[in-house]
């Protein structure tokens, strides 16, 4: 006999909501919805200063999951990261640059995203970051991205052309 009530503040003892009407059918669907919203924040930020940094920060964490990488590619949102890759000057812009480059690095492990990265002509921007950045963490993630992309497609030849 348990003294624990069957319903606890709107939840069943198994953790589900008592009046649950699920919008999503799986965790992947929930992640896909979140990724779509984050990408929409990159396209049209809802807040002038906070939307893009928060979206990039979340994507940098979420892109560790292969299903999230697939969602980014399917949503044609890889190109939204490219404008954020510019040499940074302020501490906040350095952090955004780092997290954006981290997103690109994580995407470089996903073969379908590599074609999108090639189409965006992202290498010249990454090369500019290497030439102009003084932050070790930014340089490290860009160099790791170069290393991943070196053997894929025409990236090797492009890297040679960029110097």
Domain range list for the chain: 27-162
Per-residue pLDDT at 28: 78
User: Rounded to the nearest 5°, which phi and psi values hold at 135?
Assistant: -80, 125
Distance in angstroms (rounded) separating the CA atoms of residues 114 and 153: 8
**Residue pLDDT, tens place only, 54-84:** 999 999 999 999 999 999 999 989 999 999 9
**Residue pLDDT, tens place only, 117-161:** 888 888 899 999 998 888 999 999 999 999 998 887 777 667 777
Distance in angstroms (rounded) separating the CA atoms of residues 122 and 105: 12
Highest mean pLDDT: which range of 1-15, 19-33, 65-79: 65-79
CA dihedral over 132, 79, 143, 125, signed as positive or negative: negative
Establish how many alpha carbons lie within 13 A of residue 138's alpha carbon, considering only the half-sphere containing its beta carbon.
25
Contact 129, 138 (CB under 8 A): yes
| R_g (Cα) of the chain, nearest Å | 20
Q: What is the CATH number of domain 27-162?
A: 1.25.10.10
Question: Alpha carbon 136 to chain centroid distance?
Answer: 20
Question: Alpha carbon 67 to chain centroid distance?
Answer: 12
Mean pLDDT calculated for residue range 41-45? 94
What is the chain's length?
163
pTM to 2 decimal places: 0.80
């Amino acid at each position: 006999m348990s003294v624990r009530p069957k319903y606890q503040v709107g939840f069943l003892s198994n953790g589900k909501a008592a009046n649950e009407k699920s919008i999503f059918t799986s965790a992947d669907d929930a992640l896909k919805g979140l990724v779509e919203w984050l990408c929409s924040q990159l396209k049209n930020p809802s807040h002038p200063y906070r939307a893009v940094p928060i979206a990039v920060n979340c994507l940098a964490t979420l892109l560790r999951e292969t299903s999230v990488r697939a969602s980014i590619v399917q949503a044609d949102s890889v190109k939204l990261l490219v404008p954020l890759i510019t040499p940074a000057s302020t501490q906040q812009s350095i952090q955004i640059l780092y997290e954006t480059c981290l997103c690109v690095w994580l995407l470089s492990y996903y073969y379908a995203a590599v074609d999108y990265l090639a189409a965006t002509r992202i290498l010249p921007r990454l090369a500019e970051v290497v030439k102009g950045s003084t932050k070790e963490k930014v340089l490290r993630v860009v160099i790791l991205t170069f290393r991943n992309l070196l053997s894929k497609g025409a990236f090797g030849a492009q890297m040679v052309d960029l110097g």
